[in-house]
Chains A and B, each alone.
Chain A
Amino acid sequence: GAVVSQHPSRVICKSGTSVKIECRSLDFQATTMFWYRQFPKQSLMLMATSNEGSKATYEQGVEKDKFLINHASLTLSTLTVTSAHPEDSSFYICSAREASTNEKLFFGSGTQLSVL
């Protein structure tokens, strides 16, 4: 199946710093990528939809100035958590949709962010 690489897998940072997470589709072109957040024992929550070459679409309640998304190429989307705070600590997962396979989603392995 298609491969999505997400990096880093784990980040520990101080409050107030910014953290960048990368999501790459390795063997297919992803015109659309999605970013999710998952708190312990809770379900995936869609944060934003990232379209190559255009601005991301954010879900209600997600601050676009705090969670900066860039999708500059067909294989790379990045999520930057700006001025991170402890309440931003969570598991962040990206996914990419492969149009040629009936819209299946393939997920990155996730990034565990811990803000001290």
Chain B
Amino acid sequence: RKEVEQDPGPFNVPEGATVAFNCTYSNSASQSFFWYRQDCRKEPKLLMSVYSSGNEDGRFTAQLNRASQYISLLIRDSKLSDSATYLCVVNRQNQKVTFGTGTKLQVIP
């Protein structure tokens, strides 16, 4: 089983829709969690950290469920500019960072 698993998609959604991605991780010792966004042929950029209490940044909401070992990302009111690959990142302190394979989102006009 992979350490971090994501549905590769693609998720094709119309503008204005709400879309959610999940990411599961296998190591219960994982300590910090992030969502990154990667556009084609560009470097990943930090979208948001993920906390157990849940956190929101505008149209984006991230949540962590330690009991079930998954994190989620919710995007409301999708924009064309949200089209990208969303990477789930799981980190154990002072150890290697593990990336999911990414979920591709395509927002359609």
Contact = CB atoms under 8 A, between A and B. Distances in A.
Contacts of B32: 102-103
Interface stretch (A12-20, A67-75, A80-88, A107-115): A107-115
27 contacts: A6-B43, A32-B94, A34-B96, A34-B97, A43-B87, A43-B99, A44-B38, A44-B87, A46-B97, A46-B99, A49-B96, A57-B96, A91-B41, A95-B44, A97-B97, A102-B32, A102-B49, A103-B91, A103-B93, A104-B34, A105-B34, A105-B36, A105-B97, A108-B43, A110-B41, A110-B43, A112-B41
Interface in B38-70: 38, 41-46, 49
A53 B60 CA distance: 39
Interface of B: 31-32, 34, 36, 38, 41-46, 49, 87, 89, 91, 93-94, 96-97, 99-102
Name the 7 nearest CB pairs between A and B, nearest first.
A107-B43, A43-B101, A103-B32, A103-B91, A110-B43, A43-B102, A109-B43
Interface string A16-34: 0000000000000000101
Contact of B45 (A44, A57, A91, A107): A107
Interface residues of A, number: 23
Contacts of A109: 42-43
Given A44-B87, A97-B97, A103 B46 contact: no
Interface of A is mostly: strand
Contacts of B87: 43-44
Contact of A46 (B44, B93, B96, B100): B96
A1 B47 CA distance: 12
B97 A1 contact: no
B53 to A, nearest CB: 14
A107 B49 contact: no
A102 B44 CA distance: 18
